[in-house]
Structure 1
Amino acid sequence: MAVYPEHVALNLPTDRTYEKRKTKSLRRQWNHLSKLQKNCIYSLTAFFCLTIFYILLNTPDDPVIKTRNEESILLKSVPNSKPYFNDREIRNGNYQERVIEHPKDADLEINVNVDDFKPNRLMEFTGPTTLRQKAVVEAFQHAWKGYKQYAWGHDHLKPITKSHHDWFGLGLTIVDSIDTIYIMGLKEEYLEARTWIDKHLQFDVNKDINVFEVTIRVLGGLLSIYHLSSDKMYIDKAVDLADRMMSCFNSNSGIPFSDINLFTRKPHSPKWSPDSSTSEATTIQLEFRDLSRITGDPKYEISASKVSEIVHNLEKTDGLVPIFINPNTGRFRFSSTITLGARGDSYYEYLLKQWLQTGKTIDYLKEDYITALQGVEQHLVRHTVPNGFLFLGELLNGGKDFKPKMDHLTCYFPGTLALGVHNGLPEHHLKLAEDLLTTCYQTYARHPTFLAPEITYFNIQGENSNDMYVKADDAHNLLRPEFVESLWYMYQLSGNSTYQNWGWRIFQGFQNYTKVLNGYTSIGNVRSATDTRPRDKMESFFWQKL
Structure 2
Amino acid sequence: MLLRRSWSLWAALTTCLVVFFYRRRATESVPTNPLIEYINPTSTNDKEFDWAKRPLNFPLQNIIHLPNRTVLPLPRIQYAFKPNYGAAAEENERRREMVKSSFIRTWEGYKNRAWLKDELRPISGASVNGLGGWAATLVDSLDTLWIMDLKVDFAQAVGTVEEIDFTRSEEEEVNVFETTIRHLGGLLAARDLCGETTEEEHWKEVLTEKAVELGSFLYAAFDTPNRMPITRWKWKNARDGKFQEAYTAVLLAEIGSMSVEFTRLSQLTGNPKFYDAIQRVTNRLEKAQELTSLPGLWPVVVSPMEEDFGDNMAFSIGAMADSTYEYLLKEYIMLGGRSMQYREMYNYAMDTAREHLFFRPRTISSIDILISGNRNVLSGTSGVLDPVGQHLSCFAGGMLAIGFKVFDRPDDLDIARKLLDGCLWAYRSMPTGIMPEIFHLTPCPDPENCAWVAEPHSEDPKNFPEFFDIEDKRYILRPEAIESLFVLYRITGDETLRDEAWKIFEAIEEHTKTESGNAALSDVTRIPAPMDDSMETFWTGETLKYFYLIFSAPDLISLDEWVFNTEAHPLKRS
After TM superposition, the score normalised by the length of structure 2 is: 0.70
1:322 alignment partner in structure 2: 299
1:173 alignment partner in structure 2: 137
Q: Quickly say closer, same or farther: Cα 1:278–1:80, change in 2 above 3 A.
A: closer
2:442 alignment partner in structure 1: 459
**Alpha-carbon distance in structure 2 between the residues aligned to 1:88 and 1:251:** 39
| Cα contact 2:139–2:183 (8 A) shared by 1 | yes
| Cα contact 2:245–2:305 (8 A) shared by 1 | no
Alignment gaps of 5+ in structure 2: 1-65, 81-90, 195-200, 445-452, 545-574
1:218 alignment partner in structure 2: 183
1:537 alignment partner in structure 2: 534
Post-superposition offset of 1:335: 2.7
2:395 alignment partner in structure 1: 412
Residues 405-430 of structure 1: CA distance to partner in whole angstroms, max 9, x if unpaired?
02111111111111111224211000
Matches within 5 A, 1:391-402: 391-398=371-378, 400-402=383-385
Post-superposition offset of 1:89: 8.2
Residues 84-109 of structure 1: CA distance to partner in whole angstroms, max 9, x if unpaired?
xxx9986489xxxxxxxxxxxxxxxx
**SS of equivalent residue, structure 2 residue 375:** strand
| Cα contact 2:477–2:536 (8 A) shared by 1 | yes
Matches within 5 A, 1:137-536: 137-167=100-130, 168-207=132-171, 208-229=173-194, 231-265=204-238, 274-314=248-288, 315-316=291-292, 317-332=294-309, 334-386=311-363, 387=366, 388-398=368-378, 400-460=383-443, 462=453, 463=455, 468-469=466-467, 471=469, 473-530=471-528, 532-536=529-533
Residues 488-530 of structure 1: CA distance to partner in whole angstroms, max 9, x if unpaired?
1111111111111111111101110000111111110011122
**Alpha-carbon distance in structure 2 between the residues aligned to 1:455 and 1:394:** 12
Q: Which has the larger radius of gyration?
A: 1
Post-superposition offset of 1:261: 3.6
**Alpha-carbon distance in structure 2 between the residues aligned to 1:199 and 1:384:** 51
| Cα contact 2:250–2:304 (8 A) shared by 1 | yes
**Alpha-carbon distance in structure 2 between the residues aligned to 1:322 and 1:377:** 16
Residues 321-340 of structure 1: CA distance to partner in whole angstroms, max 9, x if unpaired?
10111121111353341001
**Alpha-carbon distance in structure 2 between the residues aligned to 1:172 and 1:339:** 28
Q: Quickly say closer, same or farther: Cα 1:473–1:89, change in 2 above 3 A.
A: closer
Q: Percent identity?
A: 28
Instruction: Return the letter of the residue paired with 1:439.
Output: G
**Alpha-carbon distance in structure 2 between the residues aligned to 1:423 and 1:186:** 33
**SS of equivalent residue, structure 1 residue 402:** strand
Residues 101-121 of structure 1: CA distance to partner in whole angstroms, max 9, x if unpaired?
xxxxxxxxxxxxxxxxxxxxx
Residues 332-386 of structure 1: CA distance to partner in whole angstroms, max 9, x if unpaired?
3533410011111111111111111112121121111111111112111211124
Q: Quickly say closer, same or farther: Cα 1:508–1:80, change in 2 above 3 A.
A: same
| Cα contact 2:138–2:157 (8 A) shared by 1 | yes
**Alpha-carbon distance in structure 1 between the residues aligned to 2:434 and 2:230:** 35
**Alpha-carbon distance in structure 1 between the residues aligned to 2:534 and 2:234:** 25
Matches within 5 A, 1:15-30: none
| Cα contact 1:160–1:518 (8 A) shared by 2 | yes
Q: Quickly say closer, same or farther: Cα 1:92–1:338, change in 2 above 3 A.
A: closer
Instruction: Return the letter of the residue paired with 1:400.
Output: G
Residues 209-261 of structure 1: CA distance to partner in whole angstroms, max 9, x if unpaired?
10000000000000000000151111111111111111222334333211224
Q: Quickly say closer, same or farther: Cα 1:455–1:82, change in 2 above 3 A.
A: farther
**Alpha-carbon distance in structure 2 between the residues aligned to 1:470 and 1:165:** 36
**SS of equivalent residue, structure 1 residue 130:** helix
Residues 50-78 of structure 1: CA distance to partner in whole angstroms, max 9, x if unpaired?
xxxxxxxxxxxxxxxxxxxxxxxxxxxxx
**Alpha-carbon distance in structure 2 between the residues aligned to 1:232 and 1:470:** 54
Post-superposition offset of 1:82: 13
**Alpha-carbon distance in structure 2 between the residues aligned to 1:158 and 1:470:** 33
**Alpha-carbon distance in structure 1 between the residues aligned to 2:377 and 2:442:** 21
Instruction: Return the letter of the residue paired with 1:240.
Output: E
| Cα contact 2:166–2:213 (8 A) shared by 1 | no
**SS of equivalent residue, structure 1 residue 265:** helix
Instruction: Return the letter of the residue paired with 1:288.
Output: F
Q: Quickly say closer, same or farther: Cα 1:236–1:154, change in 2 above 3 A.
A: same
**SS of equivalent residue, structure 1 residue 417:** helix
| Cα contact 1:396–1:402 (8 A) shared by 2 | yes
Q: Quickly say closer, same or farther: Cα 1:269–1:527, change in 2 above 3 A.
A: farther
| Cα contact 1:260–1:268 (8 A) shared by 2 | no
Alignment gaps of 5+ in structure 1: 1-78, 94-127
Which of 1 and 2 has higher RCO (CA within 8 Å, sep 6+)?
A: 2
Residues 127-186 of structure 1: CA distance to partner in whole angstroms, max 9, x if unpaired?
x98111110100000111111111111111101111011112111100001101100001
**SS of equivalent residue, structure 1 residue 512:** helix
Moved more, 138-147 or 190-199: 190-199
**Alpha-carbon distance in structure 2 between the residues aligned to 1:264 and 1:203:** 13
Q: Quickly say closer, same or farther: Cα 1:180–1:470, change in 2 above 3 A.
A: farther
Instruction: Return the letter of the residue paired with 1:508.
Output: E
| Cα contact 2:224–2:244 (8 A) shared by 1 | no
Q: Quickly say closer, same or farther: Cα 1:307–1:427, change in 2 above 3 A.
A: same
After TM superposition, the score normalised by the length of structure 1 is: 0.74
| Cα contact 2:298–2:310 (8 A) shared by 1 | no
| Cα contact 1:459–1:467 (8 A) shared by 2 | no
Moved more, 240-249 or 434-443: 240-249
Q: Quickly say closer, same or farther: Cα 1:261–1:240, change in 2 above 3 A.
A: farther
